[in-house]
Chains A and B, each alone.
Chain A
Amino acid sequence: MRSLLRRYREPLFVALLLALPFTVFAVKAKQKVALNAADRVVIAVTAPVEKLIVAAVHVGQDAWHDYVALGSVREENFRLRRELVREKAQTTAFAETKAENDRLRNLLEYTDKQGPLRSLVAPVVAVGASPHSHVLRIARGSEEGVHRGMPVVAPDGVVGTIALTTAHYADVQLIVSPTSAVPALNERTRARATVKGTGDQARCKLEYGQRTEEWHDGDLVRTAGTIGFFPQGLPIGRLVNVSKKPTGMFISAEVLPAVDFARLDEVIVVLGPQDAAGNALVNASSVGTAQ
């Protein structure tokens, strides 16, 4: 028996090493990913290095942009001045529209059910390397008040939710992940649906959009603001390839995400509603209300 074991020592060892992760995988596959102590140690070692490399690259890029690539600054300056004048004119128009909107809201006794939100700016330090990992790593963790399930947004729209946290880092599961589903509504018609990830970095799909409602290519889809999900009104993306099948209750459509996930340097973690005292900020680096 012993000689047999010695003879097949290597195949048996490999079989054991295959059985070990297979067992863990089979048991935990349907569960949410959780970090153990070893995972936290490895992330604590690697994440600061990732942060350092990204910071070094940004310093290099800034140096290039600030000192070397100044050739077209004068021309750009003229262009920006023209844009500024145009923007000022637009801002004035927007201010008038806002004032009118406020008046009408008061008139209709409109109550904003969506209170102001606490949020935290978080720099992105890495991305998931595999084409099947739809993950960003951010340099904010549970010590800064970031917890699993919190929504993460960017100025352009919805990014994803917090999947894992360590003390100072967290992984964000993007909305394009096949495990992601976001309650949504059509900005134009207010029709409700769900935006689901497909695993494709460039598009999601729209589900449960009723065929009796109006859906068109180019319609902007925003978050519906269901309790426990994203705040209401954040852009998710625009509809493409809308088609009504001859049968069935729902339409078929895809959503092009509003956010370019490959070009995110910073994201905003929505920590939750603001407290009564108006303590909106977690620390000096956080931003104010995100609405």
Chain B
Amino acid sequence: MEKVDLTKQFAYRLHDAMIAAGFNSKRSTSGVCIHKLAEITGYSVQICRKYLRGEAIPEPTKLVDIAASLHVAPGWLLFGDAHDDANTTKNKITLSKNLLHYIFSKAACLYNGSINKLEVPDFLMELINDISLINASEEQSKKIIDLALSSVNHFNHP
């Protein structure tokens, strides 16, 4: 059995879910807006910092509140994919509406570019999946989207 600490795993998922929900912060060392978490929970910043450091897990009712605010399942937030419906989870991607809109607005170039039109949906799905998995701010994600989309017309045949 792998060495996996539930409290730390909870912290990573909380961190990821907060970034996916757009609650990232450049000023915070954790990369997420701890004050937003304090607002959601009604707890002090110190307690919220413990959640993000993997030093504590909120009680069940508070966990439900956090999950609802971050648009994720409480079970996933606490236990992760292993305790969720694996098939359902693997077929879902979570991405902020802003980033999805940005990808759609920029993707038009693909249909006018050198890439085979039939390859465009696969390319976009891969890109959306990549963006959903990276721990990055919205600004960083948009830069990556731009780089990936422009890559289609450069270095097509290494």
Q: Do A and B come from one complex?
A: no
